[in-house]
């Protein structure tokens, strides 16, 4: 397969632009819990979804980061009532 300059240039440009994004360290979120079994000076943190002991680097907790801030307006629901014309004692009528 022959590599031409026209196909090499876009690939090189994409690799250079993706460098800073790939170098970013994962965020360490504080994990909100009642029990703290970590050594002194450390607290429960969440790193890529795994809970362990450490020092958080993000200013919010893991639960706050995962919560969605949008609230939806409740929509009215309609209830349909069944009207049966059944003689008393007939099966299938309530």
Per-residue pLDDT of the chain (94 residues; tens, 9 = 90+): 566 666 677 777 776 676 666 666 778 888 888 888 999 999 999 888 889 999 998 888 878 877 877 778 888 887 776 666 777 777 776 6
Q: Which residues, 6 or more positions from 30, have their beta carbon under 8 angstroms from its beta carbon?
A: 43, 44, 45, 46, 56, 58, 60, 61, 62
DSSP H or E segment with residue 46: strand 43-47
**Per-residue confidence (pLDDT) for residue 82, from 0 to 100:** 65
**Per-residue confidence (pLDDT) for residue 76, from 0 to 100:** 86
88, HSE (Cβ side, Cα atoms, 13 Å): 0
Per the DSSP assignment, residues forming a β-bridge with 54 are: 43
Domain positions in the chain are 22-66
**Per-residue confidence (pLDDT) for residue 7, from 0 to 100:** 67
Output the furthest CA–CA distance in the chain (Å, rounded). 88
């Amino acid at each position: 397969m022959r590599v031409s300059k026209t196909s090499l240039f876009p690939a090189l440009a994409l690799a250079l632009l993706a460098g800073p994004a790939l170098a970013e360290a994962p965020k360490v979120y504080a994990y909100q819990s009642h029990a703290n079994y970590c050594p002194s000076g450390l607290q429960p943190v969440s790193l890529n979804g795994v809970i362990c002991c450490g020092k958080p680097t993000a200013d919010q907790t893991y639960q706050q980061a995962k919560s969605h801030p949008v609230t939806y307006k409740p929509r009215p629901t309609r209830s349909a009532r069944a009207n049966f014309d059944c003689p008393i004692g007939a099966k299938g009528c309530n």
